[in-house]
Structure 1
Amino acid sequence: MEDTIAVYGAYGHTGKFIVAALSKQGYNLLLSGRDQEKLILLNKEYPQFKIKLADINNPKTLDEAFSGAKIIINCAGPYLDTAEPIIQSALRLKAHYIDLSAEQKAVLDVFEQFSEQAKLAKTLIIPAAAFYGGLGDLLSTAITQNWNQIDEINIYIGLDSWHPTKGTRLTGDRNHYTRLTLKDNSLQDLQPGLPINWDFKNPIGIKEVVALPLSEIITISRHLNVNTINTYLSQNSLDDLRNKETPEPKPVDEKNRSSQNFCIEVVATKNNNKRTIIAQGQDIYAVTAPLVVETVNRIVSGKTKKTGVTTIGEVFDAVDFLQSLNEDDITVSTVQETELT
């Protein structure tokens, strides 16, 4: 394909998954980041692509690195630090922007700071197009299709383990803001609550889950008319994350995925109706790559509903998007609808 895609933080753990997936699709890539040595090492794996050193504190280097790119993918967290300067560069260059942010404050800032500029520039700015944020947004949008008002969306995320990357730990240290949830159709500070048990079925099983809202609260609430959104994460995965001795993920297959399994179950209610959808797969970092690749494919082919700051649930046909994903990357159940008693 002739379209050039710039990947910032290309040598990071998730960035490498995205580079590999886009390369297989035939895209011409610009590999960029802050670390020259890591870029050179990555370039040995992909000698067909140019590498460009760029510093988020130096706008000129960003513009030079991304010049000629149709889309810029920001894989370098913490997004509280990297999103704003890279979006500014994308707007100057009239390029589209995608990132992987799970940070609520970062996503909220993008909507509040860049919505008008992006709309005027007819540019797409899509934050949180990843496992956290994007996938929950897609699933929630898909199951509430034809509902113009939703009472409640509950998102249950179960991991059999969480081996965090250095980037995840760095983001956690940087993200000290109060977590937000949606209640009475407005963003509110998360209130402490008791854990509950949730059956994720095989291979995750029954896990204790706790309320832990991430960027999907922001993305979903921006385009769905929903009164309440809750996100729950399995306690065992949080224990892994908080344990400084937990090792980083190790590849176990030909796709370099770790052995970790995940399950996301989304339950939406409206009046006496309940709809449920389940997504399962392997490796929360690796599964971000097919989400990003499908986002890129749809931008390039013009399958978008709007410009400006948006989400993958809003700007694309969510049902079609999910159906297009390879089952080896992620399996998505059919929507189950029942009446509440």
Structure 2
Amino acid sequence: MKNRIAIYGAYGHTGKFIVSELYRQGYTNLILSGRDQEKLVLLNQEYPDLKIQAASIHDPKTLDDAFSGAEIIINCAGPYLDTAEPIIKSALRLGSHYIDLTAEQKPVLDIFEQFSEQAKNDKILIIPASAFYGGLADLLSTALTHDWNQIDEINVYIGLDSWHPTKGTRLTGDRNHYKRLTFKDNRLQELEASPSQEWDFKSPIGIKEVVALPLSEIITISRHLNVSSVNTYLSQNSLNDLRNDDTPEPKAVDGKNRSSQQFCVDVVATKDNQIRIITAQGQDIYSVTAPLVVEGINRILSGRVKKTGVTTMGEVYDAADFLQTLDEDDIQISAIKESQLN
């Protein structure tokens, strides 16, 4: 049963990318799971040597049966407001590590509150928000400020040339009615209305209007970095696409089934009169989640983690080394640029 990994929501848009990347890297002891048996059967036609087993978040026994023997459970099925708790409880019953992809803030907060003590005592890893939203900004922020014991401010700027949301993204947006939180004056607080601003993402995104839109990275970054303020800004054009009911779903354009979407994430940190910036660029925010998750799995299985319990990507992995090992065809990470504030 060595390196047995269960993927819940394996037939979803991002789940398929993760299954493909695991399989490409030689992981063949996989359990493909989810709520829909018919979709699992269709996926099994692509991977006939892999096990499939349907399970319901409303039936703990079916979850335990599906995940039995798994070293790691990857939850790719949102909304995580509904799926995180029952799957984590199954992971703790079985002694399995847990990873999810949530961009939602409330599930991350709930996971820290509900499961930290038991996960730490049982030496189980629970790593929410291990995706493009949440995990990537956490890794970038941690690498950027690795030698700073105190940080005044971290600003995350996310630029997309377009956003063709999946059904899962839309479903999550409809389900998530909680107020967004930002981190200001050393504490989480409700986001206040603020004017838009412009940010230059450079080529190929260029100058875009950005608006404050805090996601799960606000929670993950503030959990382990000594920072006074954390903000996230998203390009307005991508938000317009997301809010438009007529925007189509992503369409594959290459051999990796990626869409043509281009992204850029700039993370800017300040301390006293110093300013640092690091940039990540690539193609397809859903696709790039797969190498992020699988590199994390490689590190868990090889023992290259800093702690157990409920944690974040930036806290549990060597962030700088993690980013450097990613394939440039998936994501390009810039060198850190440092300057003095005027």
TM range (shorter): over 0.9
- The answer to whether residue 106 in structure 2 is matched with residue 105 in structure 1 is yes
Q: What residue is the counterpart of 1:90 in the other structure?
A: 91
In 1, the alpha carbon distance for the partners of 2:331 and 2:310 equals 26
Match of 2:129 in 1: 128
Alignment: residue pair count: 341
The within-5 A match list for 1:207-222 is 207-222=208-223
Task: Report the residue type matching 2:296 in the other structure.
Answer: T
> Gapped runs of 5+ residues in structure 2?
none
Structure 1 match to 2:240: 239
- The alignment status of 1:40 with 2:41, answered yes or no, reads yes
In structure 1, the partner of 2:23 is 23
SS in 2 for 1:291: helix
Q: Report the RMSD for the aligned CA atoms in angstroms.
A: 0.6
What is the alpha-carbon distance in structure 2 between the residues aligned to residue 276 and residue 243 of structure 1? 32
Normalised TM-score (structure 2): 0.99
Question: How far apart are the structure 1 equivalents of 2:231 and 2:25?
Answer: 36
The amino acid across from 1:48 in the alignment is D
Residue identity matched to 1:109:
D
Counterpart amino acid of residue 340 in structure 1:
L
Q: Supply the distance in 2 between the matched residues of 1:71 and 1:4 (Cα, whole angstroms).
A: 7
> Which residue matches 2:279?
278
SS at match of 1:182: strand
In the alignment, the residues of structure 1 paired with residue 4 and residue 25 of structure 2 have an alpha-carbon distance, to the nearest angstrom, of 12
**Residue 295 of structure 2 aligns with which residue?**
294
Indicate yes or no: 2:57 matched with 1:56: yes
Counterpart residue type for residue 49 of structure 2: Q
**Residue equivalent to 2:147:** 146
1:251 aligned partner: 252
TM-score after normalising by structure 1: 0.99
What is the DSSP-based 3-state SS (H/G/I as helix, E as strand, rest coil) of the residue aligned with 1:236? helix
Q: Deviations over 1:77-100 (max 9, x none)?
A: 000000000000000000000000
Q: Distance in 2 between matches of 1:147 and 1:9?
A: 39
Q: Give deviations 1:158-200, integer Å, cap 9, x for gaps.
A: 0000000000000000000000000011000000000000000
Query: Does 2:6 correspond to 1:12?
Result: no
Q: Which residue of 2 aligns with 1:75?
A: 76
Is 1:188 paired with 2:176?
no
Partner-residue secondary structure (3-state), 2:224: coil
1:155 corresponds to 2:156: yes
CA distance in structure 1 between the aligned counterparts of 2:24 and 2:118, rounded to whole angstroms:
33
Partner of 1:304: 305
Work out the CA distance in 2 between the residues paired with 1:233 and 1:54: 35
What secondary structure sits across from 2:253 in the alignment?
coil
**Aligned residue type for 1:15:** G
The offset of 1:211, in angstroms, is: 0.1
What is the distance in 2 between the residues matched to 1:112 and 1:174? 21
1:114 aligns with 2:115: yes
SS at match of 1:222: helix
| In 2, Cα distance between equivalents of 1:2 and 1:337 | 44
1:83-142 Cα shifts (integer Å, max 9, x gaps): 000000000000000000000001110001100010011000000000000000000000
How far the C-alpha of 1:26 sits from its partner, in A, is: 1.3
> Match for 1:104: what amino acid?
Q
Deviation track 1:217-254 (CA, whole Å, cap 9, x = no partner) reads: 00000000000001000000000000000000000000
How far apart in 1 are the matches of 2:304 and 2:88?
22
Letter in 1 for 2:36: D
Moved over 4 A (4+): none
- Alpha-carbon distance, 1:2 to partner: 3.1
Partner of 1:3: 3
How far the C-alpha of 1:293 sits from its partner, in A, is: 0.4
> Per the alignment, in what secondary structure is the counterpart of residue 268 of structure 1?
strand
SS, match of residue 232 in structure 1:
strand
Whole-angstrom CA distance in 1 between matches of 2:205 and 2:312:
28
Q: Which residue of 1 aligns with 2:230?
A: 229
- List gaps (5 residues or longer) in structure 1: none
User: In the TM superposition, what is the alpha-carbon distance from 1:25 to its structure 2 partner?
Assistant: 1.2
CA distance in 2, matches of 1:171, 1:117: 28
CA distance in 1, matches of 2:161, 2:76: 25
Distance 2:307 2:166 in 1: 34
Matched letter for residue 10 of structure 2: A
